[in-house]
Amino acid sequence: MKSIEWIGNALRILDQSKLPVELVYRDATSYESVAEAIERMEVRGAPAIGAAAAYGFALGAFEYKGSKADLSSYMDVVQARLAATRPTAVNLFWALRRMEDRLRECWDIEDLDEVRRLLLEEAHRIAEDDRRMNRLIGEYGNEIVPEKANILTHCNAGALATVEYGTALGVVRKAYEAGKEIHVYADETRPYMQGARLTALELHRDKIPVTLIADNMAGYLMQQGKVDLVIVGADRIAANGDTANKIGTYSVAVLAQAHGIPFYVAAPTSTIDLKVATGQEIPIEQRPAKEIQEFCGVAVAPGEVNVYNPAFDVTPAKYITGIITEKGIVVAPYSVNLLKLMVRP
C-alpha separations of 84 from 53, 185, 235, 241 in Å: 11, 34, 15, 25
Mean pLDDT, residues 235-264 taken together:
98
pLDDT value for 344 = 85
What is the average pLDDT value for the chain, to the nearest integer? 97
Q: Poorest-confidence range of 81-85, 107-111, 150-154, 272-276? A: 107-111
Per-residue pLDDT band at 296 (split at 50, 70, 90):
confident
Per-residue pLDDT band at 306 (split at 50, 70, 90):
very high
pLDDT value for 233 = 98
> 154 with 190: CB under 8 angstroms?
no
Q: Evaluate if residue 345 carries a pLDDT over 90.
A: no
Burial category of 327 from C-beta neighbours within 10 Å (exposed 0-12, middle 13-18, buried 19 and up): middle
Return d(Cα 91, Cα 107) in angstroms, integer. 25
pLDDT value for 295 = 86
Q: Which amino acid is at 232?
A: V
Mean pLDDT, residues 229-250 taken together:
98
Q: Going by C-beta distance under 8 Å and a sequence separation of 6 or more, which residues neighbour residue 61? A: 71, 75, 78, 103, 112, 115, 116, 119
Per-residue pLDDT band at 297 (split at 50, 70, 90):
confident
Per-residue pLDDT of 12-47, as tens digits, reads 999 999 999 999 999 999 999 999 999 999 999 999
Question: Domains in the chain, start-ordered, CATH in brackets?
Answer: 4-135 (1.20.120.420), 143-343 (3.40.50.10470)
Q: Pairing between strand 243-246 and 210-213? A: unpaired
> 154 with 187: CB under 8 angstroms?
yes
Q: Evaluate if residue 323 carries a pLDDT over 90.
A: yes
What strands lie across the sheet with 4-7, from one edge to the other? 4-7, 10-14, 25-28
Known catalytic residues are 235
Per-residue pLDDT of 98-127, as tens digits, reads 999 999 999 999 999 999 999 999 999 999
Q: Evaluate if residue 61 carries a pLDDT over 90.
A: yes
61-64's contacts with Cβ under 8 Å and 24+ in sequence apart are 61/103, 61/112, 61/115, 61/116, 61/119, 62/9, 62/116, 62/120, 63/30, 63/31, 64/112
Q: Evaluate if residue 330 carries a pLDDT over 90.
A: yes
Helices (H), the chain: 31-39, 46-63, 71-83, 90-105, 112-142, 168-177, 194, 200-205, 218-223, 249-258, 290-293, 334-343
Per-residue pLDDT of 63-99, as tens digits, reads 999 999 999 999 999 999 999 999 999 999 999 999 9
